[in-house]
Structure 1
Amino acid sequence: MGSGYARHPHHADPLGRALARLGVHLLTGGGAGVMESVSRAFGAVPDRAGLVIGILPAGDTPSDRADADPGTPPGYPNPRVELAIRTHLDARGDDGSGLRSRNHINILTSDVVIALPGSSGTASEVDLAVRYRRPLILLGDTARADRLPGSVPTAESVDEAVEFVRRALRGSGGESLPQGSER
Protein backbone atom coordinates (compact mmCIF):
# COMPACT_ATOMS: atom_id res chain seq x y z
CA MET A 1 0.00 0.00 0.00
CA GLY A 2 1.29 3.50 -0.68
CA SER A 3 1.01 6.77 -2.53
CA GLY A 4 -1.06 7.07 -5.68
CA TYR A 5 1.17 9.93 -6.83
CA ALA A 6 4.76 9.64 -5.56
CA ARG A 7 6.62 6.58 -6.84
CA HIS A 8 9.20 6.10 -4.04
CA PRO A 9 11.35 3.92 -6.35
CA HIS A 10 14.14 3.51 -3.77
CA HIS A 11 11.73 1.35 -1.75
CA ALA A 12 9.05 0.28 -4.25
CA ASP A 13 11.37 -1.15 -6.92
CA PRO A 14 13.49 -3.46 -4.74
CA LEU A 15 10.40 -4.42 -2.75
CA GLY A 16 8.54 -5.48 -5.91
CA ARG A 17 11.47 -7.60 -7.08
CA ALA A 18 11.92 -9.23 -3.66
CA LEU A 19 8.22 -10.08 -3.33
CA ALA A 20 8.18 -11.61 -6.82
CA ARG A 21 11.13 -13.82 -5.85
CA LEU A 22 9.16 -15.01 -2.80
CA GLY A 23 6.57 -16.49 -5.14
CA VAL A 24 3.63 -14.54 -3.71
CA HIS A 25 0.97 -12.49 -5.45
CA LEU A 26 1.14 -8.69 -5.29
CA LEU A 27 -2.09 -6.86 -4.45
CA THR A 28 -2.36 -3.08 -4.79
CA GLY A 29 -5.06 -0.51 -5.38
CA GLY A 30 -4.17 -0.65 -9.09
CA GLY A 31 -3.34 3.04 -9.50
CA ALA A 32 -0.25 5.16 -10.16
CA GLY A 33 2.64 6.12 -7.86
CA VAL A 34 3.91 3.44 -5.49
CA MET A 35 1.25 1.06 -6.76
CA GLU A 36 2.61 1.22 -10.30
CA SER A 37 6.29 1.27 -9.26
CA VAL A 38 6.08 -1.85 -7.13
CA SER A 39 3.93 -3.56 -9.77
CA ARG A 40 6.40 -2.77 -12.57
CA ALA A 41 9.35 -4.13 -10.58
CA PHE A 42 7.37 -7.22 -9.51
CA GLY A 43 6.27 -7.92 -13.08
CA ALA A 44 9.81 -7.58 -14.45
CA VAL A 45 11.08 -10.61 -12.51
CA PRO A 46 11.39 -13.53 -14.96
CA ASP A 47 9.67 -16.83 -14.18
CA ARG A 48 7.81 -15.43 -11.18
CA ALA A 49 4.88 -17.41 -9.84
CA GLY A 50 2.69 -14.56 -8.60
CA LEU A 51 0.35 -12.15 -10.35
CA VAL A 52 0.00 -8.37 -10.10
CA ILE A 53 -3.54 -7.87 -8.79
CA GLY A 54 -5.27 -4.49 -8.67
CA ILE A 55 -8.44 -3.79 -6.67
CA LEU A 56 -9.98 -0.89 -8.58
CA PRO A 57 -12.33 1.84 -7.39
CA ALA A 58 -15.46 2.78 -9.27
CA GLY A 59 -15.51 5.95 -11.31
CA ASP A 60 -16.53 9.32 -9.92
CA THR A 61 -19.89 9.35 -11.68
CA PRO A 62 -22.01 6.65 -10.08
CA SER A 63 -24.99 5.57 -12.07
CA ASP A 64 -28.44 5.11 -10.60
CA ARG A 65 -28.95 2.10 -12.90
CA ALA A 66 -28.18 -1.17 -11.16
CA ASP A 67 -26.98 -2.76 -14.41
CA ALA A 68 -24.63 0.08 -15.38
CA ASP A 69 -20.86 -0.47 -15.37
CA PRO A 70 -19.47 1.96 -12.80
CA GLY A 71 -16.26 2.33 -14.79
CA THR A 72 -12.97 3.33 -13.21
CA PRO A 73 -11.30 6.68 -12.59
CA PRO A 74 -8.69 7.92 -15.08
CA GLY A 75 -5.39 6.06 -14.67
CA TYR A 76 -6.98 2.85 -13.34
CA PRO A 77 -5.81 0.21 -13.77
CA ASN A 78 -2.17 1.05 -14.27
CA PRO A 79 -0.62 -0.83 -17.21
CA ARG A 80 1.23 -3.25 -14.90
CA VAL A 81 -1.93 -4.81 -13.43
CA GLU A 82 -2.42 -8.37 -14.71
CA LEU A 83 -5.64 -9.18 -12.86
CA ALA A 84 -7.96 -6.21 -12.40
CA ILE A 85 -10.73 -6.62 -9.84
CA ARG A 86 -13.31 -3.95 -10.65
CA THR A 87 -15.56 -2.81 -7.84
CA HIS A 88 -18.60 -0.60 -7.39
CA LEU A 89 -16.85 1.10 -4.45
CA ASP A 90 -16.14 4.74 -5.23
CA ALA A 91 -14.83 6.15 -1.92
CA ARG A 92 -11.09 6.92 -1.78
CA GLY A 93 -8.62 9.25 -0.12
CA ASP A 94 -10.09 10.89 2.98
CA ASP A 95 -13.05 8.51 2.72
CA GLY A 96 -10.80 5.44 2.52
CA SER A 97 -12.06 3.84 5.73
CA GLY A 98 -15.72 4.27 4.79
CA LEU A 99 -17.91 1.36 3.85
CA ARG A 100 -17.90 2.44 0.17
CA SER A 101 -14.11 2.12 -0.05
CA ARG A 102 -12.25 -0.73 -1.74
CA ASN A 103 -9.58 -0.40 0.95
CA HIS A 104 -11.52 -2.92 3.05
CA ILE A 105 -11.09 -5.45 0.22
CA ASN A 106 -7.40 -4.53 -0.17
CA ILE A 107 -6.71 -5.25 3.49
CA LEU A 108 -9.03 -8.20 4.07
CA THR A 109 -7.66 -9.96 0.97
CA SER A 110 -4.02 -9.45 1.98
CA ASP A 111 -2.14 -12.02 4.06
CA VAL A 112 0.44 -9.34 4.96
CA VAL A 113 0.37 -5.56 4.49
CA ILE A 114 3.43 -3.44 3.72
CA ALA A 115 2.72 0.29 3.82
CA LEU A 116 5.02 2.69 2.02
CA PRO A 117 4.66 6.47 2.32
CA GLY A 118 1.37 7.83 1.08
CA SER A 119 -1.41 10.19 2.01
CA SER A 120 -4.94 9.78 3.34
CA GLY A 121 -5.78 6.65 1.32
CA THR A 122 -2.67 4.86 2.57
CA ALA A 123 -3.37 6.07 6.10
CA SER A 124 -6.83 4.54 5.94
CA GLU A 125 -5.36 1.23 4.73
CA VAL A 126 -2.94 1.25 7.66
CA ASP A 127 -5.80 1.98 10.07
CA LEU A 128 -7.85 -0.85 8.54
CA ALA A 129 -4.92 -3.29 8.79
CA VAL A 130 -4.70 -2.49 12.50
CA ARG A 131 -8.49 -2.79 12.90
CA TYR A 132 -8.65 -6.13 11.06
CA ARG A 133 -5.47 -7.39 12.78
CA ARG A 134 -3.59 -8.07 9.57
CA PRO A 135 0.20 -8.43 9.85
CA LEU A 136 1.44 -4.92 9.02
CA ILE A 137 4.82 -3.28 8.63
CA LEU A 138 5.62 0.30 7.68
CA LEU A 139 8.48 0.92 5.25
CA GLY A 140 9.97 4.32 4.53
CA ASP A 141 9.18 7.74 5.94
CA THR A 142 5.88 7.14 7.69
CA ALA A 143 4.73 10.29 9.44
CA ARG A 144 1.75 8.44 10.91
CA ALA A 145 3.85 5.87 12.77
CA ASP A 146 3.70 7.86 16.02
CA ARG A 147 -0.11 7.73 15.98
CA LEU A 148 -0.31 3.94 15.63
CA PRO A 149 -0.25 1.30 18.34
CA GLY A 150 3.27 0.54 19.53
CA SER A 151 2.91 -2.98 18.20
CA VAL A 152 3.05 -1.80 14.56
CA PRO A 153 6.61 -2.46 13.41
CA THR A 154 8.61 -0.27 11.06
CA ALA A 155 11.30 -1.46 8.67
CA GLU A 156 14.44 0.53 8.02
CA SER A 157 15.11 -1.41 4.80
CA VAL A 158 13.39 -3.49 2.15
CA ASP A 159 15.25 -6.55 3.46
CA GLU A 160 13.67 -6.04 6.90
CA ALA A 161 10.21 -5.71 5.36
CA VAL A 162 10.66 -8.87 3.28
CA GLU A 163 11.86 -10.80 6.33
CA PHE A 164 8.70 -9.64 8.13
CA VAL A 165 6.62 -11.00 5.22
CA ARG A 166 8.42 -14.36 5.39
CA ARG A 167 7.82 -14.67 9.13
CA ALA A 168 4.18 -13.58 8.86
CA LEU A 169 3.42 -16.05 6.08
CA ARG A 170 5.13 -18.91 7.87
CA GLY A 171 3.32 -17.95 11.07
CA SER A 172 0.00 -18.33 9.28
CA GLY A 173 0.68 -22.03 8.91
CA GLY A 174 2.79 -21.65 5.79
CA GLU A 175 -0.12 -22.04 3.39
CA SER A 176 0.57 -18.61 1.93
CA LEU A 177 4.27 -19.06 1.21
CA PRO A 178 4.75 -21.35 -1.79
CA GLN A 179 7.08 -24.28 -1.33
CA GLY A 180 10.33 -23.77 -3.20
CA SER A 181 9.82 -20.01 -3.32
CA GLU A 182 12.64 -17.49 -3.37
CA ARG A 183 13.98 -17.86 -6.85
Structure 2
Amino acid sequence: MRHRRPIVGVIGSGEHEWAERAVPLGTWLATQNVHLLTGGGKGVMASVSQAFFEVTAREGLVLAILPGREGDQQGGLPEGYPNPWVEVPIVTHLPYTGVRGQHPLSRNHIIVLSSTVLVALPGSEGTLSEIALALRYRRPIVAFCDHREEFPGLPARIPIGKTLAEIQAFVRVRIRELFGDTDDGAIRHEP
Protein backbone atom coordinates (compact mmCIF):
# COMPACT_ATOMS: atom_id res chain seq x y z
CA MET A 1 0.00 0.00 0.00
CA ARG A 2 1.29 3.46 -0.88
CA HIS A 3 1.67 5.99 1.94
CA ARG A 4 1.59 9.73 1.58
CA ARG A 5 2.26 12.06 4.48
CA PRO A 6 0.38 15.29 5.04
CA ILE A 7 2.42 18.45 4.52
CA VAL A 8 2.28 21.17 7.16
CA GLY A 9 3.35 24.56 5.86
CA VAL A 10 4.83 26.94 8.42
CA ILE A 11 5.09 30.57 7.36
CA GLY A 12 6.31 33.67 9.16
CA SER A 13 8.98 36.31 9.43
CA GLY A 14 12.16 35.88 7.43
CA GLU A 15 13.99 38.00 10.01
CA HIS A 16 12.57 37.22 13.46
CA GLU A 17 12.80 33.56 14.52
CA TRP A 18 9.91 33.51 17.00
CA ALA A 19 11.86 30.62 18.57
CA GLU A 20 9.57 30.45 21.61
CA ARG A 21 6.83 29.27 19.23
CA ALA A 22 8.67 27.88 16.22
CA VAL A 23 10.90 25.47 18.16
CA PRO A 24 8.13 23.66 20.07
CA LEU A 25 5.98 23.67 16.93
CA GLY A 26 8.74 22.12 14.80
CA THR A 27 9.57 19.56 17.49
CA TRP A 28 5.92 18.51 17.79
CA LEU A 29 5.38 18.34 14.02
CA ALA A 30 8.39 16.01 13.72
CA THR A 31 6.57 13.49 15.95
CA GLN A 32 3.41 13.58 13.84
CA ASN A 33 4.37 11.68 10.68
CA VAL A 34 4.08 14.79 8.51
CA HIS A 35 6.45 16.65 6.24
CA LEU A 36 7.36 20.24 7.14
CA LEU A 37 7.25 22.80 4.31
CA THR A 38 8.69 26.32 4.49
CA GLY A 39 10.16 28.90 2.15
CA GLY A 40 13.64 27.68 3.13
CA GLY A 41 15.08 30.96 4.38
CA LYS A 42 15.99 32.55 7.69
CA GLY A 43 13.85 33.61 10.65
CA VAL A 44 10.82 31.42 11.36
CA MET A 45 11.69 29.21 8.39
CA ALA A 46 15.09 28.36 9.90
CA SER A 47 14.00 27.97 13.52
CA VAL A 48 11.07 25.64 12.78
CA SER A 49 13.18 23.66 10.28
CA GLN A 50 16.03 23.18 12.75
CA ALA A 51 13.66 22.03 15.50
CA PHE A 52 11.97 19.55 13.14
CA PHE A 53 15.30 18.32 11.72
CA GLU A 54 16.84 17.70 15.15
CA VAL A 55 14.17 15.15 16.15
CA THR A 56 16.02 11.93 15.35
CA ALA A 57 13.05 9.54 15.45
CA ARG A 58 11.00 11.44 12.87
CA GLU A 59 9.72 10.05 9.59
CA GLY A 60 8.89 13.27 7.74
CA LEU A 61 11.29 15.53 5.87
CA VAL A 62 12.07 19.24 5.86
CA LEU A 63 10.88 20.50 2.47
CA ALA A 64 11.42 24.01 1.11
CA ILE A 65 10.20 25.93 -1.92
CA LEU A 66 13.08 28.27 -2.74
CA PRO A 67 12.87 31.59 -4.56
CA GLY A 68 14.77 32.33 -7.72
CA ARG A 69 17.02 35.34 -7.95
CA GLU A 70 15.43 38.13 -9.98
CA GLY A 71 17.04 38.46 -13.39
CA ASP A 72 19.06 35.24 -12.96
CA GLN A 73 18.52 32.78 -15.80
CA GLN A 74 20.94 30.21 -14.34
CA GLY A 75 18.87 29.03 -11.36
CA GLY A 76 20.82 30.98 -8.78
CA LEU A 77 19.49 31.39 -5.27
CA PRO A 78 19.31 34.51 -3.12
CA GLU A 79 21.79 34.70 -0.27
CA GLY A 80 20.76 32.60 2.74
CA TYR A 81 18.77 30.01 0.75
CA PRO A 82 18.35 27.24 1.61
CA ASN A 83 18.89 27.22 5.34
CA PRO A 84 21.10 24.33 6.61
CA TRP A 85 18.17 22.16 7.79
CA VAL A 86 16.36 21.86 4.47
CA GLU A 87 16.50 18.24 3.29
CA VAL A 88 14.55 18.61 0.06
CA PRO A 89 15.21 22.00 -1.55
CA ILE A 90 12.86 22.68 -4.45
CA VAL A 91 14.50 25.39 -6.52
CA THR A 92 12.19 27.64 -8.52
CA HIS A 93 12.61 30.44 -11.02
CA LEU A 94 10.09 32.52 -9.02
CA PRO A 95 11.76 35.63 -7.56
CA TYR A 96 8.86 37.65 -6.17
CA THR A 97 8.18 37.89 -2.45
CA GLY A 98 7.16 40.48 0.13
CA VAL A 99 4.63 42.95 -1.28
CA ARG A 100 4.75 41.02 -4.59
CA GLY A 101 4.06 37.72 -2.84
CA GLN A 102 0.71 37.15 -4.58
CA HIS A 103 2.15 37.77 -8.06
CA PRO A 104 2.18 34.72 -10.36
CA LEU A 105 6.00 34.86 -10.21
CA SER A 106 6.01 34.21 -6.44
CA ARG A 107 6.79 30.81 -4.92
CA ASN A 108 4.15 31.55 -2.29
CA HIS A 109 1.50 29.95 -4.52
CA ILE A 110 3.42 26.65 -4.45
CA ILE A 111 3.97 26.80 -0.69
CA VAL A 112 0.26 27.34 -0.03
CA LEU A 113 -1.06 24.90 -2.63
CA SER A 114 1.35 22.16 -1.51
CA SER A 115 0.36 22.43 2.16
CA THR A 116 -2.37 20.32 3.70
CA VAL A 117 -2.65 22.89 6.49
CA LEU A 118 -0.69 26.07 7.31
CA VAL A 119 0.49 27.63 10.56
CA ALA A 120 1.37 31.33 10.37
CA LEU A 121 3.69 32.97 12.87
CA PRO A 122 3.91 36.77 12.87
CA GLY A 123 5.55 38.22 9.81
CA SER A 124 5.23 41.08 7.37
CA GLU A 125 4.25 41.50 3.70
CA GLY A 126 5.47 38.09 2.54
CA THR A 127 3.63 36.25 5.30
CA LEU A 128 0.49 38.33 4.73
CA SER A 129 0.59 37.47 1.03
CA GLU A 130 0.80 33.76 1.89
CA ILE A 131 -2.18 34.18 4.22
CA ALA A 132 -4.14 35.91 1.45
CA LEU A 133 -3.29 33.04 -0.89
CA ALA A 134 -4.40 30.48 1.72
CA LEU A 135 -7.75 32.26 1.86
CA ARG A 136 -7.96 32.40 -1.95
CA TYR A 137 -7.12 28.71 -2.33
CA ARG A 138 -9.20 27.72 0.71
CA ARG A 139 -6.36 26.09 2.59
CA PRO A 140 -6.85 25.66 6.35
CA ILE A 141 -4.67 28.16 8.20
CA VAL A 142 -4.22 29.28 11.80
CA ALA A 143 -2.12 32.10 13.25
CA PHE A 144 0.15 31.25 16.19
CA CYS A 145 0.18 34.49 18.20
CA ASP A 146 -1.09 35.93 21.47
CA HIS A 147 -3.32 38.62 19.94
CA ARG A 148 -4.02 40.27 16.59
CA GLU A 149 -1.98 43.37 17.50
CA GLU A 150 1.10 41.13 17.51
CA PHE A 151 0.42 40.36 13.83
CA PRO A 152 -0.40 43.64 12.02
CA GLY A 153 -2.57 43.12 8.97
CA LEU A 154 -3.80 39.65 10.01
CA PRO A 155 -7.25 39.20 8.43
CA ALA A 156 -10.11 38.86 10.91
CA ARG A 157 -11.15 35.57 9.27
CA ILE A 158 -7.94 33.84 10.36
CA PRO A 159 -8.33 31.95 13.65
CA ILE A 160 -5.70 32.47 16.34
CA GLY A 161 -4.05 29.82 18.48
CA LYS A 162 -2.36 31.31 21.53
CA THR A 163 -0.79 28.09 22.78
CA LEU A 164 0.92 25.13 21.19
CA ALA A 165 -1.99 22.97 22.38
CA GLU A 166 -4.44 25.13 20.40
CA ILE A 167 -2.26 24.90 17.30
CA GLN A 168 -1.96 21.13 17.74
CA ALA A 169 -5.74 20.80 17.98
CA PHE A 170 -6.27 22.87 14.81
CA VAL A 171 -3.67 20.94 12.81
CA ARG A 172 -4.91 17.54 14.01
CA VAL A 173 -8.55 18.30 13.22
CA ARG A 174 -7.80 19.63 9.74
CA ILE A 175 -5.53 16.73 8.84
CA ARG A 176 -7.93 14.14 10.24
CA GLU A 177 -10.72 15.65 8.14
CA LEU A 178 -8.65 14.87 5.06
CA PHE A 179 -6.50 11.88 6.04
CA GLY A 180 -8.07 10.04 8.96
CA ASP A 181 -6.51 8.99 12.27
CA THR A 182 -4.77 6.11 14.01
CA ASP A 183 -5.10 4.59 17.46
CA ASP A 184 -1.73 5.91 18.63
CA GLY A 185 -2.76 9.54 18.14
CA ALA A 186 -0.16 10.30 15.49
CA ILE A 187 -1.38 11.69 12.22
CA ARG A 188 -1.31 9.04 9.51
CA HIS A 189 -2.56 8.68 5.96
CA GLU A 190 -3.25 5.58 3.92
CA PRO A 191 -5.08 6.10 0.61
Give the alignment's TM-score, normalised by structure 2. 0.86
- Partner-residue secondary structure (3-state), 1:144: coil
C-alpha deviation, 1:181, in angstroms:
6.1
Paired residue for 2:152, among 108, 124, 143?
A: 143
Paired residue for 2:167, among 137, 161, 172?
A: 161
Q: Deviations for 1:16-57, whole angstroms, at most 9, x for unmatched residues? A: 001111110000000000000000000111210100001000
- Partner-residue secondary structure (3-state), 2:90: strand
Cα gap change, 1:42/1:179 in structure 2, threshold over 3 Å: closer, same or farther? farther
C-alpha deviation, 1:59, in angstroms:
1.1
Paired residue for 1:89, among 91, 94, 108?
A: 94
RMSD: 1.7
In 2, the alpha carbon distance for the partners of 1:125 and 1:172 equals: 21
Q: Which residue identity is paired with 1:162?
A: Q
- Partner-residue secondary structure (3-state), 2:142: strand
Structure 2 counterparts to residues 33-52 of structure 1, below 5 A: 33-52=43-62
User: Which runs of structure 1 show a deviation greater than 4 angstroms over 4 or more consecutive aligned residues?
Assistant: 177-181
Matched-pair identity in %: 46
- The question of 1:11 aligning with 2:17 is answered no
In 2, the alpha carbon distance for the partners of 1:124 and 1:179 equals: 37
In 1, the alpha carbon distance for the partners of 2:178 and 2:45 equals: 25
- Partner-residue secondary structure (3-state), 2:31: helix
C-alpha deviation, 1:179, in angstroms:
7.7
- The question of 1:126 aligning with 2:131 is answered yes
Cα gap change, 1:33/1:178 in structure 2, threshold over 3 Å: closer, same or farther? farther
C-alpha deviation, 1:60, in angstroms:
2.8
C-alpha deviation, 1:7, in angstroms:
0.4
In 1, the alpha carbon distance for the partners of 2:170 and 2:34 equals: 14
Q: Deviations for 1:129-169, whole angstroms, at most 9, x for unmatched residues? A: 01100001001132223x333xx211011121111110000
Structure 2: give runs of 5+ residues left out of the alignment. Answer: 1-10
In 2, the alpha carbon distance for the partners of 1:104 and 1:180 equals: 34
